[in-house]
Amino acid sequence: MQCSRSIFLIVFASFFILLKGYSQLPQDTVIDGIVAVVGGNMILKSDIETQYLQLRGQGIIKGSPPRVRCQILDKLLYMKLLLHQAQVDSIKVTDGQVEAEMDRRMRYFISQAGSPEKLEEYYQKTLLEIKNELKEIIREQMLTEQEEQKITKDITTTPSEVRSFYKKIDKDSIPLINAEFEIGMIIKQPVIGQEEKQMVINKLKGFKDRIAKGDEFATLAVLYSEDPGSAKQGGELGMFKRGDMRPEFEAASFKLKTPGDVSDIVETEDGFHLIQLIERRGEYINVRHILLQPQVSLVNLNKAKMSLDSVVTMISTKKIKFDEAVIKYSDDPSKNNGGLVVNNVTGTTRFEANQLSQLDPKVFFIVDKLKVGEISAPVLMKTDRGKQEYRIYYLKDRTSPHRANLENDYARIQQMTQSQKKDKVINEWVNQKLPGTYIKISEQYTNCEFTRKWIR
């Protein structure tokens, strides 16, 4: 069984095919109808078809279409069993948690599409409509993840277990590791001058005056807010509780008493905000905001570049080591990790070429030209929040394609060992829960070769 985290990601990604409607499905495909029921949770034909399309679109389908659909159903049955047990165990996921996770994922998909407008154009839905359709999907996913974490939370691996696992792998089954990069970076964030800040403050003061005279806050947010995730929705953020937002933003929001009240100008690390209360419901509130980000002056932008130019010279002439320069000069939290960039897919500091290219093609082209131990010249980059900063990149290591080994790939082999132990525990848990859980599967799938005894 594959790591369930990847299953969750496939299910989530396939949902975006569903958003496009079913026009992409073959004309002879029937998408309606209940395929299976686990506890009180249904699996629809469309659930299987959307995942099938996702896999086909990625070019990773192996086996005949009926076999692949059986494999998808097998995974969905497991997820619905997790969901059912989470409901039995009364595991809770708050609206605030769902909203925060939804906003995080929406930012990712907006970045992949290129802009909020392109995402809306592609799916022919507004961002608010997409978010509304995502809510229950994300809630169920978070419940299933929490239930699985509950099952596997005590699983650990020792070095001796990792070595034993590796020795038992057939030589031909040892995974082939593609060429990988390990990179570090030093970031210099340009200082934003008081003059630039004051320009933004004055603009927001003007908006507040217009609102007091009758202009609609939401209209101004659509026209002027620089928050790509909320501007199209008139600045509306959705319900959240304390602890979900930036502290300064949150404090100003919860001070508002009556729907329609507008805050004073609030500064956070994202920029300057004007906030209007929409609704207060118990410990949760919903607000809309206008975000403006001060622009960095060319003078301060050049100062940041010159500062990193000096760092490059010191490292190149061996007056300071890269890891020492990171601690002394970097403005990024990665300085606490030696400046190494973490691969969010694997949780390690190693990137395959395609992963690095997907992270940022510009970064790949910079790093690919470096020799191990070399650093780049300062390059101007934009953060996912639209801020400009200068970075220098350091190629710590580059590996050639090879069979996994304990010396170079211990973390990967440890993950494989851990995954095997998790699979064993999960299989035992499934076998324990199956007899007491109502499961009904459509006759057309009774001939599937499932990994577990779903049909009794």
- In the predicted model, is pLDDT for residue 85 greater than 80? yes
Residue 262's closest CA among 298, 201, 218? 218
Q: HEC states along the chain?
A: CCCHHHHHHHHHHHHHHHHCCCCCCCCCCCCCCEEEEECCEEEEHHHHHHHHHHHHHHCCCCCCHHHHHHHHHHHHHHHHHHHHHHHHCCCCCCHHHHHHHHHHHHHHHHHHHCCHHHHHHHHCCCHHHHHHHHHHHHHHHHHHHHHHHHHHCCCCCCHHHHHHHHHHCCHHHCCEECCEEEEEEEEECCCCCHHHHHHHHHHHHHHHHHHHCCCCHHHHHHHHCCCCCCHHHCCECCCECCCCCCHHHHHHHHHCCCCCCECCCEEECCEEEEEEEEEEECCEEEEEEEEECCCCCHHHHHHHHHHHHHHHHHHHCCCCCHHHHHHHHCCCHHHHHCCECCCCCCCCCEEEHHHHHHHCHHHHHHHHCCCCCCECCCEEEECCCCCEEEEEEEEEEEECCEECCCCCCHHHHHHHHHHHHHHHHHHHHHHHHHHHCCEEECHHHCCCCCCCCCCC
What's residue 10's pLDDT? 43
- In the predicted model, is pLDDT for residue 389 greater than 80? yes
- In the predicted model, is pLDDT for residue 66 greater than 70? yes
- Average pLDDT value for residue range 240-246: 83
What's residue 387's pLDDT? 80
- In the predicted model, is pLDDT for residue 178 greater than 60? yes
- Average pLDDT value for residue range 344-366: 84
What's residue 8's pLDDT? 45
CA 386 to chain centre: 17
Tens of pLDDT, residue by residue over 390-399, are 999 999 999 8
- In the predicted model, is pLDDT for residue 4 greater than 70? no
In the chain, the amino acid numbered 322 is F
- In the predicted model, is pLDDT for residue 165 greater than 70? yes
Going from the C-alpha of 289 to that of each of 30, 99, 235, 241, 380, the distances in angstroms are 44, 16, 5, 16, 29
What's residue 454's pLDDT? 92
- Average pLDDT value for residue range 299-326: 94
- Average pLDDT value for residue range 240-252: 88
What's residue 28's pLDDT? 42
Q: Between 4 and 339, where is the model more confident? A: 339
What's residue 320's pLDDT? 94
What's residue 19's pLDDT? 52
> Which of the residue ranges 183-192, 210-219, 277-286, 443-452 would you say has the lowest mean pLDDT?
277-286
What's residue 23's pLDDT? 39
Cα separation, 59 vs 48, whole angstroms: 17
What's residue 334's pLDDT? 77
Residues contacting 435, CB < 8 A, separation 6+: 456
Residue 109's closest CA among 95, 94, 93, 125? 125
Q: Give the HSE-up count for residue 8: Cα atoms under 13 Å, Cβ half-sphere.
A: 19
* Structure token digits, residue 97: 């948690």
The chain-wide mean pLDDT, for the chain, equals 86
Q: Between 177 and 4, where is the model more confident? A: 177
What's residue 27's pLDDT? 40
Going from the C-alpha of 284 to that of each of 31, 128, 256, the distances in angstroms are 38, 19, 12
> Which domains, ranges and CATH numbers included, belong to the chain?
4-158+413-445 (1.10.4030.10), 179-191+297-400 (3.10.50.40), 194-292 (3.10.50.40)
What's residue 80's pLDDT? 95
Tens of pLDDT, residue by residue over 401-413, are 989 999 888 888 9
The most confident of 31-45, 258-272, 374-388, by mean pLDDT = 258-272
- pLDDT band at residue 32, thresholds of 50, 70 and 90? low
Q: Between 113 and 29, where is the model more confident? A: 113
- pLDDT band at residue 62, thresholds of 50, 70 and 90? low
- In the predicted model, is pLDDT for residue 305 greater than 70? yes
- In the predicted model, is pLDDT for residue 167 greater than 60? yes
What's residue 117's pLDDT? 73
Q: Encode 182-212: b = buried (16+ Cβ within 10 Å), e = exposed.
A: bbbbbbbbbebeeebeeebbeebeebbeebe
- Average pLDDT value for residue range 228-252: 87
- pLDDT band at residue 3, thresholds of 50, 70 and 90? very low
- In the predicted model, is pLDDT for residue 361 greater than 90? no
- In the predicted model, is pLDDT for residue 450 greater than 50? yes
